[in-house]
Amino acid sequence: MPASDQDGNTSPGPAQHTHADDTSSPGAAVDAGAARAAEVAPDELPSGPKRIAVVMAHPDDAEFVCAGAVARWASEGHQVTYVLLTSGDKGSDDPAVTPEQLVATREAEQREACHRLGVEEVVFLRHPDAMLVPDLALRRELVAVIRRLRPDVVVCQDPTVRWVEQSYLNHPDHRAAGEATLDAVYPAARDRMTFPELLAEGLEPHKVREVYLAGAKDPDVWIDITACMDVKLSALRAHASQLGDWDPDEMVRTWAREDGVRNPDGGEYAESFKYFKLD
């Protein structure tokens, strides 16, 4: 069976996005090194281990588009947290499976995938699958998450990907998740007077310093995942309810090999991103 998402569509992969420019990779900007200082000023970009939040619409989304980079970052000592907006409760055609059973299965699969990747925490916001709307309520919820987690780096989906070539219509949840996340990062999470009820709850403003769009239409950063390919595939295989009998090995390696052409470190496999460094 094809690489099936909860909607039956194939998740967009790096190899489907071959636009390129000459920007060098700041992927290495997420560098391992000195331990985080005990006290970090709110506006100071830490030079040591970073907090990275990966915000995705569904269980398995991150494994397709960015799990290699996640595994690499985790192995380098960065603290990675996943935030899942839905738990993929529409992701089965089996009439014997209830949405509640599917939520339990898919959350367990996501937790196992995260365990294999070295991701420390998974936050499930449990919005209904296939119903995500990037409205002010979702923006406020994500602002609260960002202000609580205080990530230096946010990885999310590209809200501008409407389709890919002649074979893929992007899931509306992927676009909604990306749009709501970017709008939460800037300006709402950093502005003191936006959502004052969150401030009243003790959630102080927070500036995210770096954003990576995974599965991006116009990538400008390539991260070497050669050493992490086996871990990425292992994490992807944790989503057994979505894979069925299909082995993702060949397709995922093909995508990563095509992105590997732009690999700044010269390795065989890469993942591509649209990157932003915010002031």
Select from 257, 261, 274 the least CA-distant residue to 26: 274
Q: Any contact of residue 190 with Zn ion (CB under 5 A)? A: no
CB of 50 or CB of 232, closer to Zn ion: 232
Q: Any contact of residue 175 with Zn ion (CB under 5 A)? A: no
Q: Any contact of residue 61 with Zn ion (CB under 5 A)? A: yes
Q: Which stretch binds Zn ion (CB under 5 A): 39-47, 58-66, 144-152, 271-279?
A: 58-66
Select from 131, 117, 120 the least CA-distant residue to 88: 131
By beta carbon distance, the residue nearest Zn ion is 58
- Per-residue CA distances from 135 to 21, 140, 142, 158, 163 (Å): 33, 9, 11, 17, 22
**How near is the Cβ of 177 to Zn ion at its closest, in Å?**
9
- Interface residue with Zn ion among 3, 4, 5, 139 (CB under 5 A) is 5
What does the block give as tokens for 238?
Answer: 């944790």
CB of 102 or CB of 188, closer to Zn ion: 102
Chain positions 111 to 170 lying near Zn ion, rule: CB under 5 A, are none
Q: Which residues contact 246 (CB under 8 A, 6 or more apart)?
A: 1, 2, 3, 4
**How near is the Cβ of 56 to Zn ion at its closest, in Å?**
7
CB 179, CB 78: distance < 8 Å:
no
State the DSSP H helix or E strand holding residue 256, giving kind and residue range, or none if neither: helix 249-260
Select from 65, 46, 111, 68 the least CA-distant residue to 232: 68
CB of 61 or CB of 220, closer to Zn ion: 61
Q: Any contact of residue 58 with Zn ion (CB under 5 A)? A: yes
Distance separating alpha carbons of residues 160 and 151, to the nearest angstrom: 23
Chain positions 217 to 246 lying near Zn ion, rule: CB under 5 A, are none
Q: Which stretch binds Zn ion (CB under 5 A): 4-12, 108-116, 194-202, 214-222?
A: 4-12
Q: Any contact of residue 63 with Zn ion (CB under 5 A)? A: no
Q: Which positions touch Zn ion (CB under 5 A)?
A: 5, 58, 61
